[in-house]
């Protein structure tokens, strides 16, 4: 166990019902956190995750909240604090992917990506840290596309994730006097229901010859949420099998 939560420690995962977010929820629950998580449109997936965590002896509950909606983000934080009385860790995993060349990328898609992947991340952190004391932890889930472009149709997505990495550095300075740590995880290809059809092609792009598992990212979440990372803030940790070397 990498995390070392005190009694009744609480975590909130934005975008937690599937993929990397769900793996983070399960891992934090195993580490001893009571975990709230948000979902947008799959209550069945959210309910299944709650049942899985509870069956393993953990505590979790799901909240419907669209990360494009600032008021929904703020309400999710308030509900977690009301239910558990505190908030120690926030993991901001919610994000959307839109791909396209510049001459075909619509302003509607541009606005949606910026609203969720940048504005939504900032609002989530702003709302969460209002309830955090010393030793609070903020963890964002970015992308290795922030390090360098991986495809010519991914400009806007990569731009949004580079903004998150820059945001983390600034907020780390902003929140350091309060003892709150802010760090970013930048995954490369991860096997999820969205990538499963393209796994063999993706493997050929990764020096290690394999894609990552959601649990690989959850391990980093656990580390950053725990006492072992107490001297880290403002960092972006890339986990992509060497893809951006």
Which token pair is 19? 């993929």
Which token pair is 123? 């609002």
Provide the 10 A C-beta neighbour count for residue 186: 24
CA dihedral 204, 208, 211, 213 (to 10 degrees): 170
Beta strands 89-92 and 236-239 are: unpaired
Backbone angles phi, psi at 182, to 5 degrees: -130, 120
In 104-219, DSSP assigns E strands to 137-141, 181-187
Active site residues: 157
Which token pair is 118? 């940048």
| CA 210/CA 103 separation, integer angstroms | 33
Provide the 10 A C-beta neighbour count for residue 198: 11
Which token pair is 231? 């001297």
H-only helix segments in the chain: 19-30, 43-55, 70-84, 107-114, 120-129, 155-175, 199-203, 214-225
DSSP conformation class of 45: H
């Amino acid at each position: 166990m990498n995390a070392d939560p005190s009694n009744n420690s609480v975590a909130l995962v934005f975008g937690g019902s599937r993929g990397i977010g769900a793996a983070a929820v399960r891992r934090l629950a195993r580490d001893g956190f009571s975990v709230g998580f948000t979902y947008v449109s799959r209550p069945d997936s959210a309910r299944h995750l709650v049942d899985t965590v509870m069956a393993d002896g953990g505590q979790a509950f799901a909240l419907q909240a669209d990360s494009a909606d600032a008021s929904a983000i703020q309400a999710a934080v308030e509900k977690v604090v009301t239910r558990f009385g505190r908030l120690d860790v926030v993991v901001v995993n919610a994000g959307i992917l839109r791909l396209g060349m510049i001459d075909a990328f619509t302003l509607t898609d541009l606005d949606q990506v910026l609203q969720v992947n940048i504005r939504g991340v900032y609002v989530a952190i702003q709302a969460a840290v209002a309830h955090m004391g010393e030793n609070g932890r903020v963890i964002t889930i970015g992308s290795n596309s922030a390090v360098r472009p991986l495809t010519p149709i991914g400009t806007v997505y990569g731009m949004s994730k580079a903004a998150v990495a820059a945001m983390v550095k600034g907020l780390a300075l902003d929140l350091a006097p309060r003892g709150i740590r802010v760090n970013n995880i930048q995954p490369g290809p991860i096997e999820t229901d969205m990538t499963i059809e393209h796994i063999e092609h993706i493997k050929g792009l990764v020096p290690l010859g394999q894609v990552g598992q959601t649990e690989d990212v959850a391990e980093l979440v656990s580390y950053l949420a725990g006492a072992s990372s107490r001297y880290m803030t403002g960092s972006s940790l890339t986990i992509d099998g060497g893809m951006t070397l």
